[in-house]
Amino acid sequence: MIFMYILLIVAFIDMFSQLPVIAPFATSLGATPLIVGSVIGVYSFSNMLGNVLSGIWVDKFGSKRILASSMILAGILVFFYTYVTNPTQLLAIRFFHGFAAGFIVPAAFAAIGRNDDSQSSGKKMSHSGAAIGIAAIIGPAMGAILTGRLGIEWLFYVVSLALILIGFTSLVFIKSKPVTLIKSAIKEEIGFSFIKNSTIQFSYVSIFLLLLMQGILTYAMPLKVEELHLKQEMTGIYFSIFGIVAILFFILPSNRIFDRFNNSRLMLTGLFTIALSILGLGLATSSITVLLAMVFYGIGFALLFPSTSTTIMKGTNSQNRGKAFGVYYACFSLGVISGAFLAGLLGTSATLIFTVGAGIVLFVSILMLVGLKPRTLS
């Protein structure tokens, strides 16, 4: 299981390490602002396609082969970034890189949930969230440091090597499990009928809203720092604060709540916490209030990620869990794209962007609270 968490860290470092450098890299190749935006967005778009297809193939062929091949292919594609000489080539590589990387995470979570133990599934998902949080802290710093000191090509070399090594290593450390279908199983049990489950629907909407806010936060936090006349370095510090709070919540005994409390209640609590923290960011007038808002954002993130993914684990079986996680991470990618797009439409006022974002989460959360059946929350 420890190997799976290492795999998740490497997979997400692949994505997070490019966040601070890909736009300047595209600009250095002569990309226009529109092309720069396309270079950033096309990764998430193709990643979303890979997520869905990964889920289908995982249920058909098993996690091991999908994980190994997609990690190795993603590593090879990252290496090809070093040969890019113009924006068109960069756009093409980003598309194929995002598509290949899209197969990794649904397959990883299906593998983690393969030996499902309902008594510890929440703890598993909280540890997985910690792995992603660690990548979110290490990745951007690694990307900026390697690029600044050695050049961007060294970032691609390091990430490419890590992906390929983990891909080959997964062939040894991940145990194969034959994918067999029970003849008596009805078609719906191995298809997409899990989407009809209201609790799983709630999980998909919740993770979409969380990543919608993450996209908004990524876009608007530098603007908020500028509005408050703070040093731009504070942007990275604030993101680190939320990541550290979330990781502590994941690894400390507090992670037991995901196995002891109703997941729907945890999701609602997380959404309201996220909404209030985003609203707090919009209304913040000092560095301290921004910091406090990010602490609560970290708590909300920590409540939402394990509770949504645990809901998927508990609401599916070995024949459809891959598809369910594929759709889950498609909502993940769609949220990031939508958040950045919405923030761009709203302009350059961080206060307006954060206030509108908080309003959306609160409104949808109230609708879901009204629509959920009482037994879902019991």
Q: Which of 124-133, 167-176, 226-235, 311-320 has the lowest mean pLDDT?
A: 124-133
At residue 184, does pLDDT exceed 50? no
Q: Which of 91-105, 184-198, 340-354 has the lowest mean pLDDT?
A: 184-198
On average, the pLDDT of the chain sits at 83
Six-digit token pair at 18?
Answer: 């490019």
At residue 361, does pLDDT exceed 60? yes
The pLDDT > 90 percentage for the chain reads: 30
The dihedral sign for the CA sequence 312, 182, 188, 329: positive
At residue 203, does pLDDT exceed 80? yes
Q: What is the DSSP letter of 318?
A: T
Q: Is 55 exposed, middle or buried (0-12, 13-18, 19+ CB in 10 A)?
A: buried
pLDDT of residue 378: 52
* Residue 151 zone, left/alpha/beta (φ > 0; ψ -120 to 50; rest): left
pTM exceeding 0.85 = no
pLDDT tens-digit map of 31-89: 887 787 788 778 888 988 898 888 888 878 888 889 999 999 999 999 999 999 999 99
At residue 181, does pLDDT exceed 60? no
User: Residue 185's pLDDT band (boundaries 50, 70, 90)?
Assistant: very low
User: Residue 376's pLDDT band (boundaries 50, 70, 90)?
Assistant: low
Mean per-residue pLDDT, 348-372? 88
Q: Where are the domains of the chain?
A: 1-175, 193-378
For the structural domain made of 1-175, what CATH number should be given?
1.20.1250.20
pLDDT of residue 217: 84
pLDDT of residue 68: 92
pLDDT of residue 4: 86
pLDDT of residue 270: 93
pLDDT of residue 183: 42
At residue 347, does pLDDT exceed 90? no
At 137 the three-state DSSP class reads: helix
Distance of CA 365 to the CA centre of its chain: 20
At residue 339, does pLDDT exceed 60? yes
- CA triple 29-31-35, angle to 5 deg: 140
The pLDDT > 70 percentage for the chain reads: 88
At residue 321, does pLDDT exceed 80? no
Query: Which residues, other chains included, contact 153 with Cβ-Cβ below 8 Å and sequence gap of 6+?
Result: 81, 82
Domains 1-175 and 193-378 share a fold: yes
The dihedral sign for the CA sequence 335, 233, 302, 366: negative
Q: Which of 123-127, 166-170, 307-311 has the lowest mean pLDDT?
A: 123-127
Convert 170-191 to b/e letters by CB count within 10 Å (16 or more is b). beeebeeeeeeeeeeeeeeebe
Query: Which residues, other chains included, contact 286 with Cβ-Cβ below 8 Å and sequence gap of 6+?
Result: 228
pLDDT tens-digit map of 308-319: 888 888 887 777
User: Residue 196's pLDDT band (boundaries 50, 70, 90)?
Assistant: confident
In terms of CATH, what superfamily is 193-378? MFS general substrate transporter like domains (1.20.1250.20)
Q: Which of 63-67, 182-186, 188-192 has the highest mean pLDDT?
A: 63-67
pLDDT tens-digit map of 221-240: 888 888 998 886 787 778 77
User: Residue 93's pLDDT band (boundaries 50, 70, 90)?
Assistant: very high
At residue 187, does pLDDT exceed 70? no
pLDDT of residue 115: 54
Q: What are the DSSP calls for 113-128, one per residue? A: TTT--TTTHHHHHHHH
Q: pLDDT higher for 177 or 22?
A: 22
